[in-house]
Amino acid sequence: MRSGRESYSVALYRIIKDFAKLPAKVFLLVEGKDADYYRPRASMILADLDLSFRNLKGKQNIKELINALLNNLSLKNLRFAVFYDRAYEADIAEITRSFAYVTDSYYIENYYIGSEAVGSAIASLLYDDAVHSDELDNIIFGLSDNYCKLQTNFHSCVRLFNEWAWVQRHMPRPGKISLDKFDVGKMLTIDKMTWIVTSNYKLDDLNALAPERKPVTPSEIAIASEWFSHKSWTDSFRGKQEIDMLFLYLTEVIKLANDGASPFSKKTKVGKRLSRQEIISELSAYAKSPQSLIDFLHKLKSDWGDTVIVA
């Protein structure tokens, strides 16, 4: 399905075609690889429904597809739901609809970086969720605690970037921009011995990432800083950089385990794979399932459970 990420017009054509053949099918629309997170959760609660996930590239494609679905009279009985990332809330009024779930956090990646999720991921990677000794429990606890301390330090170092990115979304200016250009490995120095993170960038460096745009000013940064002061950084900072940091930490933990280096007293063979490209799928079982998502899925079940659909 990942290779099926597509423009909204192609997705619309396929939905019309599939709905004509199978009017009872339920279409769940997601961005990018988010289906790897939503599929197991939706399938558990909506097990009695014929679900079909449709991945689209980019939030704008999903918005355009929704408008097309709502304005097509032949699809008036179509059952569908959409799953959005909240991001910096620039379009929150537009995407808040009865058939739409909007993450509590910036991206679903933020559901992967809480202390409980990280602790569960470490236990699974190292010991395959098997029963283990108190000593190993202490190792898992220590590694999880180290990550929480690392995350606090990391957040201090990426705060300026997130404030800059917030301004780009809430005070838009002409010109292209890609927030993915902020490379954790280049903009930060990370000491893997102490896990101390230091920042290597300033506001001018961030503005250089978007040369076609008017530079963000210190006064605009101050407005963004006030907005973030009322938010949980774990939930509201941009998910890509957060998951980059988590991946870096977990790969180092795996290396220490394989080498038998501190805090491990002996070599511990780690059999599970972990890749940056597939981490959303690989760690999906350990990510947070917020009550808002559970409630949304149960509402869909209640609304659709006994409905008889005809094309």
Confidence of residue 1 (pLDDT cuts 50, 70, 90): very low
**pLDDT value at position 151?**
95
Which residue is associated with the tokens 């290779």? 3
Confidence of residue 108 (pLDDT cuts 50, 70, 90): very high
Structure-token pair, residue 169? 């979304």
46 DSSP assignment: T
Asked whether the bond before 40 is cis by omega within 30 degrees of 0, the reply is no
CB neighbourhood size of 245 (10 A): 22
Structure-token pair, residue 17? 């075609």
Q: Which of 50-59, 133-142, 229-238 has the lowest mean pLDDT?
A: 133-142
Confidence of residue 130 (pLDDT cuts 50, 70, 90): low
Q: Which residues pair with 54 in a beta bridge?
A: 29
CB neighbourhood size of 131 (10 A): 6
pLDDT of residue 247 exceeding 60: yes
Q: Which residues pair with 55 in a beta bridge?
A: 30
* For residues 132-151, average pLDDT: 88
Which pLDDT tens digit goes with each residue over 174-217? 998 888 888 888 899 999 888 999 999 999 999 999 999 999 99
**pLDDT value at position 182?**
87
Confidence of residue 74 (pLDDT cuts 50, 70, 90): very high
**pLDDT value at position 92?**
86
What domains does the chain contain, in order, with CATH numbers? 2-104+290-304 (3.40.50), 114-286 (no CATH)
DSSP string, 11-51: HHHHHHHHHHH-TT-EEEEEETTTHHHHHHHHHHHTTTS-E
Provide, rounded to the nearest whole percent, the portion of the chain with pLDDT above 70.
Answer: 95
Q: Report the C-alpha gap between 81 and 67 in whole angstroms.
A: 13
Confidence of residue 7 (pLDDT cuts 50, 70, 90): confident
Q: Mapping DSSP to helix (H, G, I), strand (E, B) and coil, where does residue 18 land?
A: helix
Confidence of residue 3 (pLDDT cuts 50, 70, 90): very low
Which residue is associated with the tokens 């997601």? 30
Structure-token pair, residue 43? 């399938």
Strands 196-199 and 188-191, by their bridges, are: antiparallel
Which pLDDT tens digit goes with each residue over 282-297? 999 999 999 999 999 9
Average pLDDT value for the chain: 90
Which pTM value belongs to this model? 0.88
